């Protein structure tokens, strides 16, 4: 079968189509976790790629999962303007796994890959001991 190599005539009009809003098809990107003390950490992220947002991002949720349910923290409906947050009062020497998800009006998309950290003096970078605002 021959393939067309030349097109005769003028091209047709372009039609732009917008699909309905959906949940994000990917997670927030560039997720970073830094220990700021033996009981606190900061989390930063960027929104999912624009092509994966599938609507306007209206909120985020963050899971900070400890080794048991009582040491886990789940934060919902974080402002879409936020690019990170600071979590205090964590348990020394406990391992936490942090992941972030974005939300449109139709719901939350997938979580980012978990980043696991142990709350230990050995993991603290002295230059991270500062006040951070994430907007």
Over the stretch 105-123, which tens digit does the pLDDT of each residue have? 999 999 999 999 999 887 6
Predicted local distance difference test score (pLDDT) of residue 15: 84
Q: What angle do CA 89, 61, 87 make, to 5 degrees?
A: 15
Enumerate domains of the chain plus CATH numbers. 29-121 (2.60.40.10)
| Cα Rg, the chain, nearest whole Å | 21
Mean pLDDT by 10 residues, the chain (135 residues): 62 81 97 94 96 96 91 93 94 95 98 95 53 43
pLDDT of res. 121: 80
Strands 115-118 and 95-104, by their bridges, are antiparallel
Say what the pLDDT of residue 44 is.
97
């Amino acid at each position: 079968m021959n393939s067309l190599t030349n097109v005769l005539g003028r091209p047709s009009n372009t039609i732009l189509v917008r699909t309905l809003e959906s949940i994000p098809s990917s997670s927030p990107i560039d997720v970073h976790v830094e220990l700021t003390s033996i009981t606190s950490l900061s989390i930063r992220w960027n929104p999912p790629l624009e092509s994966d947002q599938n609507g306007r991002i209206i909120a985020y949720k963050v899971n900070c999962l400890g080794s048991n349910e009582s040491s886990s923290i789940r934060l919902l409906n974080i402002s879409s303007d936020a690019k990170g947050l600071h979590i205090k009062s964590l348990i020394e020497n406990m391992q936490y796994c942090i992941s972030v998800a974005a939300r449109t009006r139709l719901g939350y998309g997938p979580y980012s890959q978990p980043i696991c950290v142990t709350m230990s003096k050995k993991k603290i970078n002295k230059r991270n001991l500062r006040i951070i605002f994430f907007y």
